[in-house]
Chain A
Amino acid sequence: MLKGWVIVFASFAYIGFLFAIAYYADRRADQGRSLISTPYVYALSLGVYATAWTFYGSVGRAASDGVGFLPIYIGPTLMMMLWWFVVRKMIRISKINRITSLADFVASRYGKSALLGGLVTVIAVVGILPYISLQLKAISTSFQILLQYPEIVMPQKIGAVSIVNDTAFYIAIFLALFTIAFGTRQLDVAERHEGMVAAIAFESLVKLIAFVAVGTFVTFGMFNGPGDIFGQAMARPELAALATPFGAAAGNYVSWIWLTILSMLAIVFLPRQFQIAVIENVDEKHLNKAVWLFPLYMFAINLFVLPIAFGGLLHFQGGNVNADTFVLTLPMSQRQEWLALLVFIGGLSAATGMVIVETIALSTMVCNDLVMPPLLRFTRARFMPHEALSNLLLDIRRAAIMAILMLGYFYYLLAGEAYALVSIGLISFAAVAQFAPTVIGGLYWRNATRAGALAGLSLGFLIWGYTLMMPAFVQSGWASIALIEQGPFGIELLKPLQLFGLKGLDQTTHAMIWSMLGNVGAFVLVSLLSRQSASERIQATLFVDVLSQTGERTGFWRGTASAASLQTLLGRFLGPLRAAELFDGYARANGAASADELDADARLVHFAEIQLAGAIGASSARAMVSSVVDEEPLRVDEVMAIIDEASQAIAHNQELEEKRAELEAATTELRNANERLQELDRLKDDFISTVTHELRTPLTSIRAFSEILHDNPTLDVDERSRFLGILVKESERLTRLINQVLDLAKLESGAAEWQNVTLDLREIIDDASNTVSQLFKARDVQLEINLPSESVMVVADRDRLMQVMLNLLSNSVKFCDAGHGQVVVSLTLQPGSVQINVCDNGIGIAKEDQELIFEKFRQVGNSLTEKPPGTGLGLAICRQIVGHFGGRLWVVSERSRGATFSFSLPIKTMVAERC
Chain B
Amino acid sequence: MKMANKTLQKTEPDNALGPRRGHRGQRLVCIFLLGVVLFNFPVLAVFNVGATLFGIPVLFAYLFLAWAALILFMYLAIERFR
| Interface positions of A (Cβ within 8 A of B) | 66-67, 70-71, 74, 77-78, 80-82, 84-85, 88, 225-228, 230-231, 234, 240, 243-247, 250, 253, 256-257, 260, 284-285, 287-289, 291-292, 295-296, 299, 303, 306, 547-548, 550, 650, 653-654, 657-658, 661
Option from B11, B32, B42, B78 in Cβ contact (under 8 Å) with A292: B78
Add 13 more A-B contacts to A84-B28, A244-B48, A653-B10 (CB < 8 A).
A81-B32, A84-B24, A243-B59, A243-B60, A247-B48, A250-B45, A253-B41, A256-B41, A285-B16, A291-B28, A292-B71, A292-B74, A661-B2
**Cβ of B19 < 8 Å from any Cβ of A?**
no
What's the least CB distance linking B21 to chain A, in Å? 9
**Cross-chain contact B74 with A80 (CB below 8 angstroms):** yes
- CB contacts under 8 Å to A, within B31-82, are 31-32, 35-36, 39-42, 44-45, 48-50, 52, 54-57, 59-60, 63-64, 67-68, 70-71, 74-75, 78-79
Beyond A288-B78, A295-B74, A299-B71, is A244–B59 a contact (Cβ under 8 Å)?
yes
**Cross-chain contact B78 with A230 (CB below 8 angstroms):** no
How far is B59's CA from A66's CA once the two chains are assembled, in angstroms? 10
**Cross-chain contact B11 with A234 (CB below 8 angstroms):** no
Contacts of A228 in B (CB 8 A): 55
* Chain B residues touching A, range: 35 or more
**Cross-chain contact A243 with B57 (CB below 8 angstroms):** yes
How far is B64's CA from A296's CA once the two chains are assembled, in angstroms? 11
What's the least CB distance linking A353 to chain B, in Å? 22
Q: List 17 A-B contacts (CB under 8 A).
A: A67-B63, A81-B32, A82-B32, A84-B28, A234-B57, A240-B50, A250-B41, A253-B41, A253-B45, A284-B17, A289-B78, A291-B74, A295-B70, A299-B68, A303-B64, A547-B13, A654-B11
Contacts of B42 in A (CB 8 A): 250
**Cross-chain contact B56 with A227 (CB below 8 angstroms):** yes
Contacts of A246 in B (CB 8 A): 44-45, 48
Option from B2, B11, B13, B35 in Cβ contact (under 8 Å) with A77: B35
**Cross-chain contact B55 with A657 (CB below 8 angstroms):** no
**Cross-chain contact A260 with B11 (CB below 8 angstroms):** no
**Cβ of B6 < 8 Å from any Cβ of A?**
yes
**Cross-chain contact A260 with B39 (CB below 8 angstroms):** yes
How far is B78's CA from A661's CA once the two chains are assembled, in angstroms? 38
Option from B32, B35, B40, B52 in Cβ contact (under 8 Å) with A253: B40
What's the least CB distance linking A610 to chain B, in Å? 19
Contacts of A289 in B (CB 8 A): 78-79
**Cross-chain contact A295 with B71 (CB below 8 angstroms):** yes
**Cross-chain contact B50 with A243 (CB below 8 angstroms):** yes
Option from B16, B48, B50 in Cβ contact (under 8 Å) with A284: B16
Task: Find the A residue at minimum CB distance from B74.
Answer: A292
Task: Find the B residue at minimum CB distance from A251.
Answer: B41
**Cross-chain contact B44 with A253 (CB below 8 angstroms):** yes
Contacts of B36 in A (CB 8 A): 78
**Cross-chain contact A285 with B45 (CB below 8 angstroms):** no
Contacts of B57 in A (CB 8 A): 230, 234, 243-244
Task: Find the B residue at minimum CB distance from A82.
Answer: B32
Contacts of A71 in B (CB 8 A): 39
**Cross-chain contact A226 with B56 (CB below 8 angstroms):** yes
**Cross-chain contact A288 with B63 (CB below 8 angstroms):** no
Option from B6, B28, B54 in Cβ contact (under 8 Å) with A81: B28
Contacts of A78 in B (CB 8 A): 32, 35-36, 39
Task: Find the A residue at minimum CB distance from B54.
Answer: A227
What's the least CB distance linking B55 to chain A, in Å? 3
